[in-house]
Amino acid sequence: MGTAAGLLLGAGLLCVWWSFWPRGEPKPSAWGARARDMLTQAGMPGVSARAFVSTSIGVGIAMLVVALAITATPPIAVCFAVMAGFAPTVYVRSKARKRRTELRALWPDVVDDLASGVRAGLSLPESLIALAERGPDQLRPEFMQFARDYRASGRFTDSLDLLKARLADPVADRLVEALRLTRDVGGTDLGRLLRTLSQFLRDDLRARGELEARQSWTVNGARLAAAAPWLVLAMLSTQATTIQAYNSATGVLVLLVGAVASVIAYQAMVRLGRLPEDVRVLR
């Protein structure tokens, strides 16, 4: 009995001592931050970067097994397995890009509603909470969560940080930091700042829409040109002559050269045809 009491006392003292040395959260790497932003922008905030990588590897392995069973040609199977492994990344990036485009059209209205609330005499927290009811439908859940965070803690700055993390959007970063600065230092120019930001966002949206309409054919052409040779290879990979050709060293070299050429050509055309995306510099 005395031994057990001594052990419990020692464990309690150890816990008390350990509580005086809180451990900070590990800082995510640059790749981890980008992956988390991409998943959040794609509408999958609950998926971690590790789970996403594991899923991609699992898809690649599954494709490798299927391709080996169909073609019985390891070089071809490896090529399609690598493509399948990158398919989740392409899908998530596409969803994230589509959501950023949708939000880009909504932010001017959000800024206008926020400016209207400020002109009506509402405080900054009240103006943001009001967006949960009168803001765009796609953004209402985020502002509802902001309202719950603020009512639970009463800390405006911490609630803004959580809102910025949930949105993971460059425009939201600029808006949040402008509101934070106004709350910290005060000032009477918030209404003018919001009107200027709204006009800037509308001008950017108009110019970007015109350019994307003219240059979308370049990106679509790059995708078609990169996928066409591999679609032909997939259709021919079940023939005996194709299997014999690509099972040789020369066939492997042809696949490697073709893969490198496809990647370089696709990246070059996409970079030439796609407009630059905003970067989260105020993370």
How many CA within 13 A on the CB side of residue 30? 1
Of 232, 246, 249, the closest CA to residue 71 belongs to 246
Residue 134 pLDDT > 60: yes
* CA 281, chain centre distance (Å): 15
Confidence at residue 216, expressed as pLDDT on a 0 to 100 scale = 73
Whether 41 and 278 have beta carbons less than 8 Å apart is answered as: no
Cβ atoms within 10 Å of 33's Cβ, excluding its own:
15
Residue 187 pLDDT > 60:
no
| Domain residue limits, the chain | 34-121+187-273
Q: What is the pLDDT of residues 32-87, one digit of tens each?
A: 777 787 888 787 877 888 888 888 899 999 988 888 888 777 888 888 888 888 88
> pLDDT, tens digit, for every residue of 82-126?
888 888 888 888 888 888 888 888 888 888 888 888 788 788 888
